[in-house]
Amino acid sequence: MKPSRLTAALVAVSVFTAFPALGQDRYGSRPPVVLSPDLAAPWVMQLRPGRSIAGHSVRSNARKVLFERPAKPRQRSLRTVQPQPVALRARNNPQPANPGIDPIYLPQEVAYSGPEKPGTIIVDTSDRFLYFVQPNGTARRYGVGVGKEGFSWSGSEKISRKAEWPSWRPPAEMIARERKKGRILPAYMEGGPQNPLGARALYLGSTLYRIHGTNQPWTIGQAVSSGCIRMRNEDVTELYARAKVGAKVIVR
């Protein structure tokens, strides 16, 4: 065999025997990759903030994330609110808390020994009583409200007329006087429960004075009027039925 052919045969045999080894190398463990410290150092140092590499300061851009503990929910303190008392009063006629009157001023049958004839009305302004003289030495006594200081009067008059649920025209002097106190009176008011003259009125002669009811029954027994004699509505209604027009009225 010629040398050239022998050489070619040897090369073919060596290549054939080498291929199985190369195929097995794929599945074998490869040797570790070793880098030069000069190449690895810059990359490793970037993972360590605050270190310097070759005279340069490396800063980490990673932000620190702080996880805060969730705050406890605030507990609200509940305060019990006590309802405040509400003072109720009438729109036009405020009343005191206790609108009652002293029982002594309620109607009573009493003994009477005066000289006046039955049917006569006598008003005692000092004791706040009105007497309707009856037969057999008796009288029907009622509590009344009388004129305040400076407005009281005395004398004798006769009942000139009577009216049920009378209307009211305050005199000009009263309107001016009350305006100074901050109270505005109407020039005219129809009769009714809110009218100061109340349920009935007995007019005395040609004067401005009357025996009348009231929308303020708690004032009975007091000196609060402008000179008129005021009674509870139920009492003046009773007197209205008994007293006659022309009857004598004596105010002491």
- The CA-CA-CA angle for residues 29, 32, 37, to 5°, reads 175
Q: Copy the structure tokens of residue 237.
A: 């209604």
- Tokens 């005066």 appear where? 114
Task: Give the Cα separation of 143 and 122 in Å (integer).
Answer: 12
| Catalytic residue (choose from 212, 214, 216, 240) | 212
Residue 228 annotated among the catalytic residues of the structure: yes
Q: Is 127 exposed, middle or buried (0-12, 13-18, 19+ CB in 10 A)?
A: middle
Task: Give the Cα separation of 143 and 130 in Å (integer).
Answer: 6
Q: Copy the structure tokens of residue 12.
A: 């073919």
Q: Who's near 74: CB < 8 A, 6+ residues apart?
A: none
- HSE-up of residue 168 (Cα within 13 Å, Cβ side): 25
Residue 212 annotated among the catalytic residues of the structure: yes
Q: Who's near 60: CB < 8 A, 6+ residues apart?
A: 49, 50
| Catalytic residue (choose from 121, 123, 146, 228) | 228
Report the run of H or E that residue 223 belongs to, with start and end. Answer: strand 223-225
Q: Who's near 249: CB < 8 A, 6+ residues apart?
A: 120, 121, 122, 123, 156, 157, 158, 159, 202, 204, 211
Supply the residues annotated as catalytic: 212, 228
